[in-house]
Amino acid sequence: MQADIMYKRYVGRKKYVFIALLLILFILSFVALNLGASRATLINLIGFFRGIDDQDANLILWRIRLPRILAAIVAGAALSISGCIMQNNLKNPLASPFTLGISNAAAFGANVAIILLDAGSTQSSTKDAVIINNPYIVNICAFVFSIFATFIVIKLAKLKFFSKEAIVLSGVALGSLFTAATTLIQYFAQDYQVAAAVFWTFGDLGRVSYKEVLIMATATLISYVYFYLHRWDYNTLEASDDVAKSLGVDVEKLRLRSLLLVSFATATAVSFIGVIGFIGLIAPHIMRRIVGSDLRFLIPTSTILGSVLLLLSDTIARTIISPIVLPVGVITSFLGAPLFLYLLIKEEDRG
């Protein structure tokens, strides 16, 4: 058969992967909307559309579960697409949205807000022992410090013409600096403040309402559009920087802008929901095995897979020992670590 016809079929097949993932996400969202500690199910949903008004159930569906599901979809997409771009740009399968030290910087920002600016406190009720009484200051501080960290990493990397090594090393160095600073201010803080700060660092999707989801979605969409428009440029980076340049790509500019947008999307998500590990590492990894390292397909599919994985983790976190809701970050790490090792061992087999 002619090479071009075979190729077109092959490309066509990859599109089905994307459609299948979308379908899975859709079904999972409906399942998640149905599940939960209180009994509000799709029956209520159908009732709602027929005009039967069950106040409580509607409140749970529309005000609690739906924003949470949307937050999982948006944050999962943001983390996964960021991881995908980082792994491509740094040519490092271990790169993630947090390679630039964003998670550490955001945690430091939150600690500053909670401890130094006194934005957290304890409550006497047993369930939610810790509350953050001024979430906006915490969000803003976390965001500001994440972006600040990004600029420092970029300044440092610029000295070395955005070489991959320079970016990774300055990210790691800055990350550990922020961790040290966090430990230092926690050391001198009150117990209840430390508790609130630690609580913040566990990623949790229950904190957001529609407004925050909208902000996260905007940041993610802007980044996604840039990344997708530059999919061919990223593909040339897969070969080498030299080849990319010889094919007309301004490598330094591309890296700089990619880093900025990755940070923007990640920092926005992290400052609203805290640190959620592994999604940004593992979703692009899984997709690379299925669709190859071609960014034309890797960008859309790993975005959706990130949403699927985070939504799945959050649904497990809400239901596994219901009515207690576990922090979703714990579930992603519990699921992610073994999965990651499994992929690693399979990789060894192949090589």
Partner 1 sequence: MILRVDSLCFSYNSKMVLDKVSFTIDRGECVAVLGVNGAGKSTLLKCINKILMPDGGCVYIEDKVVSKMPQIEIAKDIGYVPQRTNVSRMTVFDAVLLGRKPYIRLDATDKDIDIVKDILKHLSLEKYSLKYIDELSGGEFQKVLIARALAQQPKVLLLDEPTSSLDLKNQIEVLDFIKKIARERGISVVVIIHDLNLALRFADKFIMMKDSKIYSAGGQEVITEEAIRDVYSVDVKVENIRNKKIVIPV
> Which residues are at the interface with partner 1 (CB under 8 A)?
2-4, 6-8, 10, 91, 229, 232-233, 235-236, 238-240, 242-243, 245-250, 288, 292-294
CB of 4 to partner 1, least distance (A): 4
Nearer to partner 1, 26 or 161 (CB): 161
* Phi and psi torsions of 52, nearest 5°: -80, 120
DSSP 38-51: S---HHHHHHHHTT
Q: Give the angle 179-136-269 at the CA atoms, nearest 5°.
A: 60
Beta strands in the chain (DSSP E): 120-122, 130-132
CB of 310 to partner 1, least distance (A): 25
Nearer to partner 1, 147 or 249 (CB): 249
CB of 284 to partner 1, least distance (A): 13
The single residue listed with the structure tokens 């899975």 is: 24
The single residue listed with the structure tokens 């016809």 is: 5
Nearer to partner 1, 229 or 345 (CB): 229
Residue 121, beta-bridge partner list? 131
Helices 3-34 & 66-90 angle (0-180, nearest 10): 150
Nearer to partner 1, 148 or 228 (CB): 228
Nearer to partner 1, 293 or 319 (CB): 293
CB of 288 to partner 1, least distance (A): 7
The Cα 198–Cα 327 span in angstroms is: 12
CB of 241 to partner 1, least distance (A): 8
The Cα 131–Cα 340 span in angstroms is: 33
